[in-house]
Homo-oligomer: A and B are copies of this chain.
Amino acid sequence: MDEMYQRHAELCKVFASPTRLEIVDLLRSKELSVTALVEKTKMGQANISQHLAIMKYKGIVTSRRSGTNVYYALADSRIVAAFDIICEVLAKKRMIGA
């Protein structure tokens, strides 16, 4: 039971980084290569690779190789659902002014 919260927290840590959230958002509808993610996020390549490695290890994304490119995609569509719920909560907070 206690270990369950630990596992839950480990998974949530994935969403505790702005860069990883941006990656999730970019992958919500289609897979993208590392290069594409680097261009869109305007972050360093090593950094993006590290974040993708973390997300893959946590089971949030999958990867597939095609030539020299590696394409990443979300492993579970419910991730987007959770993402959007947090956005709703944020939007509500804005209105209240918190």
- Which A positions have Cβ atoms within 8 angstroms of B? 2, 4-9, 11-13, 15-22, 25, 59, 76, 78-79, 81-83, 85-90, 92-93, 96, 98
Contact = CB atoms under 8 A, between A and B. Distances in A.
**Identical chains bound together, number:** 2
Contacts of A78: 85, 88-89
Given A8-B87, A82-B82, A82-B89, 13 more contacts: A5-B22, A5-B25, A8-B21, A8-B90, A9-B15, A9-B16, A9-B18, A9-B21, A59-B93, A78-B85, A78-B88, A82-B85, A82-B86
Tell me what chain A mostly uses at the interface: helix, strand, loop, or mixed.
helix
Contact of A76 (B2, B18, B92): B92
A16 B21 contact: no
Contacts of A4: 90
A90 B9 CA distance: 11
Contact of A17 (B7, B9, B25, B87): B9
